Protein backbone atom coordinates (compact mmCIF):
# COMPACT_ATOMS: atom_id res chain seq x y z
CA UNK A 1 0.00 0.00 0.00
CA UNK A 2 1.33 3.44 -0.94
CA UNK A 3 1.98 5.85 1.87
CA UNK A 4 -0.33 8.82 1.57
CA UNK A 5 1.59 12.11 1.17
CA UNK A 6 0.33 15.40 2.48
CA UNK A 7 -1.97 17.16 0.01
CA UNK A 8 0.21 20.27 0.11
CA UNK A 9 3.89 19.74 0.94
CA UNK A 10 5.12 21.60 3.97
CA UNK A 11 7.98 24.01 3.33
CA UNK A 12 10.03 24.39 6.49
CA UNK A 13 13.23 26.25 7.25
CA UNK A 14 16.28 24.01 7.17
CA UNK A 15 16.79 24.30 10.93
CA UNK A 16 17.96 21.41 13.13
CA UNK A 17 14.30 20.78 14.00
CA UNK A 18 13.29 20.81 10.34
CA UNK A 19 16.09 18.45 9.36
CA UNK A 20 15.13 16.10 12.19
CA UNK A 21 11.52 16.07 11.00
CA UNK A 22 12.67 15.45 7.42
CA UNK A 23 14.79 12.50 8.53
CA UNK A 24 11.79 11.03 10.34
CA UNK A 25 9.66 11.33 7.21
CA UNK A 26 12.35 9.60 5.17
CA UNK A 27 12.45 6.74 7.69
CA UNK A 28 8.66 6.51 7.34
CA UNK A 29 8.92 6.04 3.58
CA UNK A 30 8.05 9.57 2.45
CA UNK A 31 9.74 11.90 -0.05
CA UNK A 32 11.53 15.02 1.19
CA UNK A 33 12.85 17.92 -0.88
CA UNK A 34 16.15 19.42 0.24
CA UNK A 35 18.94 21.74 -0.96
CA UNK A 36 22.32 20.54 -2.14
CA UNK A 37 25.36 22.53 -3.24
CA UNK A 38 24.05 22.41 -6.82
CA UNK A 39 20.21 22.34 -6.95
CA UNK A 40 17.28 21.07 -4.88
CA UNK A 41 16.96 17.30 -4.69
CA UNK A 42 14.45 14.67 -3.61
CA UNK A 43 15.35 12.26 -0.84
CA UNK A 44 13.98 8.88 0.11
CA UNK A 45 15.57 5.98 1.95
CA UNK A 46 17.86 4.61 -0.75
CA UNK A 47 17.56 1.05 0.58
CA UNK A 48 13.74 0.97 0.63
CA UNK A 49 12.23 -0.54 -2.50
CA UNK A 50 8.78 0.90 -1.70
CA UNK A 51 10.13 4.42 -1.15
CA UNK A 52 12.17 4.25 -4.35
CA UNK A 53 9.14 3.11 -6.35
CA UNK A 54 7.15 6.04 -4.93
CA UNK A 55 9.96 8.41 -5.96
CA UNK A 56 10.06 7.00 -9.50
CA UNK A 57 6.31 7.48 -9.88
CA UNK A 58 6.43 11.00 -8.42
CA UNK A 59 9.12 12.08 -10.87
CA UNK A 60 7.73 10.14 -13.83
CA UNK A 61 11.25 8.80 -14.22
CA UNK A 62 12.14 5.95 -16.57
CA UNK A 63 13.03 2.70 -14.84
CA UNK A 64 16.27 2.47 -16.83
CA UNK A 65 17.67 5.65 -15.25
CA UNK A 66 19.56 4.78 -12.06
CA UNK A 67 18.95 7.14 -9.14
CA UNK A 68 22.16 8.63 -7.66
CA UNK A 69 22.75 8.67 -3.92
CA UNK A 70 24.25 10.83 -1.20
CA UNK A 71 26.34 9.21 1.51
CA UNK A 72 27.75 10.69 4.69
CA UNK A 73 31.34 9.65 4.14
CA UNK A 74 33.71 7.19 2.48
CA UNK A 75 32.84 4.46 4.97
CA UNK A 76 29.15 4.63 4.03
CA UNK A 77 30.16 4.48 0.37
CA UNK A 78 32.27 1.37 0.97
CA UNK A 79 29.24 -0.41 2.44
CA UNK A 80 27.39 -0.05 -0.89
CA UNK A 81 30.02 -1.14 -3.41
CA UNK A 82 31.66 -4.39 -4.39
CA UNK A 83 35.04 -2.68 -4.48
CA UNK A 84 36.57 0.75 -4.10
CA UNK A 85 39.44 1.00 -6.60
CA UNK A 86 42.45 3.03 -5.43
CA UNK A 87 41.81 5.71 -8.07
CA UNK A 88 38.21 6.08 -6.88
CA UNK A 89 39.37 6.44 -3.29
CA UNK A 90 41.89 9.11 -4.34
CA UNK A 91 39.19 11.06 -6.19
CA UNK A 92 36.79 10.75 -3.27
CA UNK A 93 39.37 12.04 -0.81
CA UNK A 94 40.18 14.94 -3.15
CA UNK A 95 36.65 16.00 -4.15
CA UNK A 96 34.35 14.83 -1.34
CA UNK A 97 32.52 16.65 0.04
CA UNK A 98 31.72 18.16 -3.34
CA UNK A 99 29.94 17.91 -6.66
CA UNK A 100 31.56 14.73 -7.98
CA UNK A 101 29.43 11.60 -8.35
CA UNK A 102 31.44 8.38 -8.64
CA UNK A 103 29.69 5.41 -10.23
CA UNK A 104 31.15 2.23 -8.73
CA UNK A 105 30.22 -1.44 -8.99
CA UNK A 106 27.19 -1.95 -6.75
CA UNK A 107 26.72 -4.73 -4.25
CA UNK A 108 24.16 -7.25 -5.54
CA UNK A 109 21.60 -6.59 -2.79
CA UNK A 110 21.00 -2.91 -3.68
CA UNK A 111 17.51 -2.08 -4.98
CA UNK A 112 17.20 -2.02 -8.77
CA UNK A 113 16.23 1.70 -9.07
CA UNK A 114 19.66 2.80 -7.80
CA UNK A 115 21.70 0.41 -9.98
CA UNK A 116 22.64 1.24 -13.58
CA UNK A 117 22.45 -1.14 -16.52
CA UNK A 118 26.19 -1.72 -16.13
CA UNK A 119 25.81 -2.61 -12.46
CA UNK A 120 26.99 0.68 -10.99
CA UNK A 121 25.71 2.88 -8.17
CA UNK A 122 26.35 6.64 -8.21
CA UNK A 123 27.63 8.07 -4.94
CA UNK A 124 28.81 11.40 -3.58
CA UNK A 125 29.21 13.31 -0.34
CA UNK A 126 27.51 16.70 -0.46
CA UNK A 127 29.32 19.85 0.64
CA UNK A 128 25.99 21.53 1.42
CA UNK A 129 25.56 21.65 5.21
CA UNK A 130 21.81 20.94 5.04
CA UNK A 131 22.20 17.93 2.75
CA UNK A 132 25.14 16.62 4.76
CA UNK A 133 23.26 16.90 8.05
CA UNK A 134 20.19 15.22 6.55
CA UNK A 135 22.25 12.18 5.53
CA UNK A 136 23.80 12.04 9.00
CA UNK A 137 20.38 12.23 10.65
CA UNK A 138 18.97 9.49 8.43
CA UNK A 139 22.01 7.34 9.18
CA UNK A 140 22.10 5.79 5.71
CA UNK A 141 22.20 6.71 2.04
CA UNK A 142 19.49 8.93 0.58
CA UNK A 143 18.58 9.63 -3.02
CA UNK A 144 20.03 12.66 -4.76
CA UNK A 145 17.82 12.97 -7.83
CA UNK A 146 16.87 16.49 -8.89
CA UNK A 147 13.58 17.89 -7.57
CA UNK A 148 11.51 17.99 -10.74
CA UNK A 149 9.29 15.90 -12.93
CA UNK A 150 11.34 14.02 -15.52
CA UNK A 151 12.10 16.26 -18.50
CA UNK A 152 11.26 19.49 -16.68
CA UNK A 153 13.60 22.15 -15.31
CA UNK A 154 15.38 21.32 -12.07
CA UNK A 155 14.24 23.13 -8.91
CA UNK A 156 16.40 26.02 -7.73
CA UNK A 157 14.03 27.08 -4.91
CA UNK A 158 12.11 25.19 -2.24
CA UNK A 159 8.69 26.05 -3.67
CA UNK A 160 9.65 24.45 -6.99
CA UNK A 161 10.59 21.23 -5.17
CA UNK A 162 7.13 20.96 -3.60
CA UNK A 163 5.84 18.47 -6.16
CA UNK A 164 2.64 16.48 -5.65
CA UNK A 165 3.67 13.47 -3.59
CA UNK A 166 6.46 15.27 -1.71
CA UNK A 167 5.75 15.30 2.02
CA UNK A 168 8.04 18.18 3.02
CA UNK A 169 10.69 20.51 1.62
CA UNK A 170 13.59 21.98 3.57
CA UNK A 171 14.05 25.64 2.56
CA UNK A 172 17.51 27.16 2.64
CA UNK A 173 17.27 29.75 -0.09
CA UNK A 174 18.15 29.51 -3.75
CA UNK A 175 20.47 26.88 -5.20
CA UNK A 176 21.48 27.32 -8.84
CA UNK A 177 24.86 25.78 -9.53
CA UNK A 178 25.89 23.29 -12.25
CA UNK A 179 25.00 19.68 -11.42
CA UNK A 180 27.59 17.23 -10.20
CA UNK A 181 30.11 15.72 -12.57
CA UNK A 182 29.43 12.00 -13.01
CA UNK A 183 32.39 9.66 -13.52
CA UNK A 184 31.96 5.90 -13.91
CA UNK A 185 34.82 3.78 -12.56
CA UNK A 186 33.64 0.23 -13.20
CA UNK A 187 35.92 -1.13 -15.95
CA UNK A 188 37.68 2.06 -17.02
CA UNK A 189 37.11 5.75 -16.33
CA UNK A 190 34.10 6.97 -18.28
CA UNK A 191 32.82 10.54 -18.01
CA UNK A 192 29.02 10.32 -18.02
CA UNK A 193 28.31 14.00 -17.33
CA UNK A 194 30.47 17.08 -17.25
CA UNK A 195 29.30 19.21 -14.35
CA UNK A 196 30.67 21.36 -11.55
CA UNK A 197 34.00 19.51 -11.33
CA UNK A 198 35.94 20.02 -14.57
CA UNK A 199 37.62 17.08 -16.26
CA UNK A 200 41.04 18.68 -15.78
CA UNK A 201 40.50 18.56 -12.00
CA UNK A 202 39.99 14.80 -11.94
What share of the chain has pLDDT > 70, as a percent?
A: 95
Convert the pLDDT of each residue in 61-104 to its tens digit: 776 789 999 999 999 999 999 999 999 999 999 999 999 999 99
Burial 105-127 (b: 16+ CB within 10 A, else e): bbeeebbebbbbeebbbbbbbbb
Q: Which residues contact 126 (CB under 8 A, 6 or more apart)?
A: 36, 37, 70, 97, 132, 135, 144
pLDDT for residue 63 = 67
CATH fit for domain 10-174+181-187, picks 3.40.50.1820, 3.90.870.10, 3.30.70.890, 3.30.300.30: 3.90.870.10
How much is the mean pLDDT over the chain? 92
Shortest CA distance to 43 belongs to which of 167, 155, 150, 160?
167
Show me where the domains of the chain are located. 10-174+181-187
Q: What is the band of 133 on the pLDDT scale with cuts at 50, 70, 90?
A: very high
* Packing angle of the helix pair 129-138, 16-27 (nearest 10 deg): 50
Q: Give bridge partners of residue 101 from the DSSP assignment.
A: 182
Amino acid sequence: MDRQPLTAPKILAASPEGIGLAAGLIHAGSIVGYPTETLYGLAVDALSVEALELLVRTKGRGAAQAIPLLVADLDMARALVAELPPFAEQLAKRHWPGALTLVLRALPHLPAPVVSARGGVGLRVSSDPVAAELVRCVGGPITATSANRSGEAAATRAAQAALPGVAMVLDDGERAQPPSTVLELIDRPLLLRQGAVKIGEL
